[in-house]
Amino acid sequence: MILSAQTIASHLGGTVEGNPDSEVSAVARIEHGKPGTLCFLANPKYEKYLYTTKASIVLINKSFELKQPVAATLVRVDDAYQAVAAMLDLLNTVKMQNKRGRSWRSKISWRAKLGKNVYVGAFAYIAKGAKIGNNVKIYPQVYVGENVHIGDNTILYPGVKIYTGCKIGTNCIIHSGAVIGADGFGFAPQNDGSYKKIAQTGIVIIEDNVEIGSNTSVDRATMEATVIHSGVKIDNLVQIAHNVEIGENTVIAAQAGIAGSSKTGRQCVIGGQVGIVGHISIAEGTQIGAQSGVIKNTVENATIAGSPAVDYAKNQRNIAVYRTLPQIRDEIQAIKKEIEELKRKNG
């Protein structure tokens, strides 16, 4: 897709400085810009590249003041970071819209219902009773189980597995290798020391505008449903256990794990490698620092960190103390030696 500076400015509500007919067909980082690419400057630490970049067009903030001449055509916008996100979305949308039709190597049950403009890639499988909305993209080797519902405009990338009965909303994106609806980790200890599997009879419900990263697993509920509410964004390699409920617009970074029946409120931020024990509630607006271990309920808008997780400021003080422990130990050892010497002298 080739876009002119004027077209970009019109799309973003910006203004052009330079050649309005300058054209680009790709996006690049400003330090790697070359002819035919669109770059952006949002972070001042990269300002030096603005004056040396070979990019054809650069997005910058309307408030930015140039210190040197710039060879590239500039498109000034209110927020360059948001503007480049909009451009990436436009380019990606165009690319996605090019996907059409159903591969003859796919298998679609005659009892499945597909909407308009659905793409089904090679070796994808859609089971009986499945309902697929309009403009859905199902890439190669995707498995869609019986009675699965998938809303309009959702994208399932290669290798996604959606187990029986699960429901996916509209405008969702699920990346390669994600598994939605596998059995929850439920086993009852027996008298002989073995474990008996507890049947997982529920489903997973994923509401609208949710994005789930690659190789993430969302387990089906033991009973009823595991629920991912609207607007949630989940990174790669995340584990969501059975009967968990994730509140609206919560974001979860890579390698986090949430144990069974825990709930998060709206607009929480969960850092990478966070572990949350089962059967607790993470209140609305909670922010959890990376590698934290959360073992109890939180209060609204709390910022916590550490393992076990405590108030962020308290955790920072704890870290400062931890760093001095070797010195404190040495001082205590020295004092003990002095005391022992005094005892011998006064013995």
What residues act catalytically? 242
Which amino acid, one-letter code, is at 183?
Answer: D
Q: CA-CA distance, 12 to 76, in Å (whole number)?
A: 9
Q: In what helix (H) or strand (E) does residue 24 lie, and over which residues does it extend? A: strand 23-24
Which amino acid, one-letter code, is at 54?
Answer: K
User: If DSSP codes are grouped into helix, strand and coil, which group holds residue 191?
Assistant: coil
Q: CB–CB of 249/268 below 8 Å?
A: no
Q: CA-CA distance, 62 to 87, in Å (whole number)?
A: 17
Residue of 88, 111, 102, 164 lying closest to 136 (CA atoms): 102
Q: Do the strands 187-189 and 195-197 form a parallel or antiparallel pair, or are they unpaired?
A: antiparallel
Q: Do the strands 263-264 and 149-150 form a parallel or antiparallel pair, or are they unpaired?
A: unpaired
∠ CA(236), CA(211), CA(225), 5° rounding?
95
Q: CA-CA distance, 187 to 332, in Å (whole number)?
A: 49
53 exposed, middle or buried (CB, 10 Å; 0-12, 13-18, 19+)? buried
Q: Do the strands 23-24 and 137-138 form a parallel or antiparallel pair, or are they unpaired?
A: unpaired
Q: In what helix (H) or strand (E) does residue 276 lie, and over which residues does it extend? A: strand 275-276
Rounded to the nearest 10 degrees, how much is the dihedral formed by the CA atoms of 158, 164, 168, 173?
-10
User: If DSSP codes are grouped into helix, strand and coil, which group holds residue 187?
Assistant: strand
